[in-house]
Chain A
Amino acid sequence: MINVTIETGQWAKAYLAERVMQISLPQGTQAGNLASVLAIGEDDAGAVIVNGSIAKPGQILQDGDKIKMLASIIGG
C-alpha cells in the first residue's frame, strides 16, 4: 500500500467528507483511475495534479504523493 494526500474542492463534497485527506491506496494505482477508486462520478472528476504537475496518461502514484483532484469542466 502507499499513503498519499488528496486535496479536492467543494465540488467533491458529495463523495468525500474532507477537502484534504490522507489515504492508503494499493501499489500501482494510476492517477487516471483515482476517481473510480474513490467512487467519484466520472462526470464530476477532472484533471489530477500530482506534486504540482498534471498527471500523465498511465502515471503510477507513489508513496507520499501530494495530489490535487480538480473538478471536470462544465458548460453548455
Chain B
Amino acid sequence: MIYKDYIRVLNVDMASERIYIDERQDLMPYLGGVGVAAKLLEENMRADLPPLAPEQPIVFAIGAMETVYPVITKVVAMFISPLTGELGESYAGGRMGMTMFQAGFDAIVITGRAVRPTYLAITDTDVVFRDSRVFWGTGSGEVGRHIREYEQDQGSKLSIIRIGEAGENLVRFACVSVDRYRHFGRLGLGAVFGSKQLKAISLDGNRSMPIQNYAPYFKVMRELYKKATESGLMSKYHDLGTPVNVEPLSAIGALPTLNLQSGTYEHADKISGEEFASAHLVRKLACVGCPVGCIHIGSYRRTFAEHGYEYESVEVGYDYELIFSLGSYLGIDNTRDVLELIEEVEVCGMDAMSTGVALGWATEALEKGLVGLDDTLVDLKFGQSQAYRKAVRYMSGAENEFYRNLGYGVKHASSVYGGEDFAMHIAGNEMAGYHTGYAAIAGAAVGARHSHLCNGGYSIDQGLKDPDIDIDDMANAILEEEVERNLYNSLIMCLFARKIYDRDTVIRALSAIGQELTDEDLSAITKRIYATKLRIKKALNFDLSEVRLPKRFFETPSMHGKLDEARTYEIIERYKEMIAEMEAFT
C-alpha cells in the first residue's frame, strides 16, 4: 500500500483452483498487517463451521511499511485456530514479507480444500497450483529444499513456507515453517494448511517500489537505521539473543521448570544463553530488511549410521522460548539434548512451546497414573530427552489415541484423562516461558490470541515495584498495551524493535512513503483493529468469564511470590468490563 490508496488482495480458492485480485480502498482505514488481515478474516470466516472446515480462510498480510524501513519484516497470518477454536493470529519474518511485497500483494486470502496435496507457486505474474502428492509425508526441511530446486529459475530470494508431518496429521498446534529458520508457530496454522491439503507456498516477485521523495525518506530511514544499529537498544538481541533470559528468569523464580512445578531450575546455568553461545553458536542470521540479526544458529554433531564413523553436522535455530519449553520445562539439563529436541520438533513441524508443555503434562500424567505406558509408548520422565524425541514423533504422527488427543493440546488431553490442574494452558493455548506474575497470566487470558505477545504481560510484571497493584490499574495497563500493539502489528515491525518506533517516528516514516496520518488517526486505527478482533471472538462464542486457569499457576510461586487465584479472575473480569463497549468502534 506504499504510495497507494488501496489494498491489493489475492484471493485463492484451493478447491476450484481459481484466483481473483481485488483492489480495496475500503481497507485503508485498517492501515495494513493485522488490521487488514483481521478485517478480511471477519469477512471470510464461517462462525457456524469448525476451524478446519474447507470454507475457513487463511489470511496473510504484510504491513503498511513492509520492507522499506529497518526491522519492518513480518507477515501476519490470521485464521480460526484449531487449538483454541477462536481467533488465530501468528507472525513470521524471514523473506516472506519482502516476496509478498515484490509479488505485489498486500494480502492473500486462501479458502477451500484442494482435491489433492498441492503447493501454490505465487509470483507477480502468475499463481500456479502444483501437484505435491510426492511431497506429502516429507519433513518441512526436505520439502523446502525440493521446492527451492524446482522453482530455482524464479530467483534465489524465493520464500517458501510449508508444513511437516504434524500439519498433515492435523495436530492442532502444527506450525508453518518459513524459509529455513522462521515460523508461524502458534495456534495451529499448520493444521489449517493440512486441512486444505496445502503443503506449501512459494513466493517470489520482481516488482519494485521506487521511493518518490528521497529527502524525507532517507532522513527517517537513516535515523531508524542508526537507532537499530548504534543505540544499544537492539544489540542485546544480536549478542546472546533472547537465550540471555534463561538464567535471570530462573534467578527470579519465573522460569517454568518441570511442568511448572517450579519457577527455578537448578541447571539453568547449563542451558543458559552463554552456554549455548560458547558450545554451539556458529552463525547469526537476519530476516530480510533487518540490520540486527538475532537468529542464533547452533550446531551439533550427530551420528547418522551405526557402522563406522558416520557423522553429520546439524544446524538448529535456537531462542529463549525453545530453550524453556524443550529444556527447563522438561528437565533437560544440557544444551546438546535441547538442540536435538528442537531439531526433532522442527522436522515434524510443530509449535515448540505447545509441544514442550504437552510433553510436560504427559510426563506428570504418566507419573500420577492417569495414563499408562501403553498410552505413552515410551517411559516419559523429566530429563530423558531420548524418550521425548520419540514422543515428539508419536505426537506428530498421531501414533495412537493418546497421542492424537495430546495433539489436540493439553486442554483437550486433560479433559479426556484428567490432570486439568497441571495442564498448563491459558484459554487453550499452552503457556509461554514467563511465570512472572498477574499480568503474564491475566494478560494471556484476555489477550486476543492468548499469547504472551498480545500485551507483553510479563514485561508489565517486571516493571512493577508493587505486585499488589490496584486491579483497575493492572487491567488498564494490559488493555493499553494490547490496543497499542495493533499499531506495531499493522506496520508490521518485529516487536523487538518497538522501542525505536515511537509514534512521532511512525508518523514521519509513513508520511515519507505517502501515508499522511495524524496521531489521532493512529489511535483510531488501533481501536478499530482491536474492535474487529473482539467482534471475531464474539462471533466465535468466546467469553472471558468462561476462562478457567489451571491451579498450578497459583501453587507455584512466581517472581512476585504466590499468586492469588481470585485476584487473577478479578483482573480478567475488570478487563471484560473495560472492553464491553469497544467492539462497536468503527
Contacts and interface: CB of A to CB of B under 8 A. Distances in A.
Nearest to B235: A14
Among A9, A70, A73, which residue has the most Cβ atoms of chain B within 10 A? A73
Among A13, A43, A74, which residue has the most Cβ atoms of chain B within 10 A? A74
A10 B453 contact: no
B237 A74 contact: yes
Counting contact residues on chain B (CB < 8 A from A), the size range is 20 to 34
Contacts of A44: 232, 236
A74 B495 contact: no
B233 A10 contact: no
Grouping DSSP codes into helix (H, G, I), strand (E, B) and loop, the A interface class, with mixed when no group exceeds half, is loop
A11 B272 CA distance: 12
Contacts of B453: 76
Interface stretch (A20-28, A46-54, A59-67): A46-54
A47 B248 contact: yes
Interface in A1-32: 9-11, 13-14
B465 A57 contact: yes
A58 to B, nearest CB: 11
Interface in B218-257: 232-233, 235-237, 239-240, 242, 244-245, 247-249, 251-254
Interface stretch (B24-32, B332-340, B456-464, B544-552): B456-464
B320 interface: yes
Contact of A43 (B233, B248, B249, B274): B233
Among B247, B272, B274, which residue has the most Cβ atoms of chain A within 10 A? B247
B320 A75 contact: yes
A14 B232 contact: yes
A73 B277 contact: no
A74 B252 contact: no
Contacts of B249: 73
Given A9-B274, A76-B456, A76-B495, A71 B236 contact: yes
Contacts of A68: 251
Contact of A74 (B236, B274, B465): B236
B456 A70 contact: no
Nearest to A68: B251
B248 A71 contact: yes
B242 A54 contact: no
Nearest to B496: A76
B458 A72 contact: no
5 contacts: A9-B240, A9-B244, A70-B248, A75-B320, A76-B453
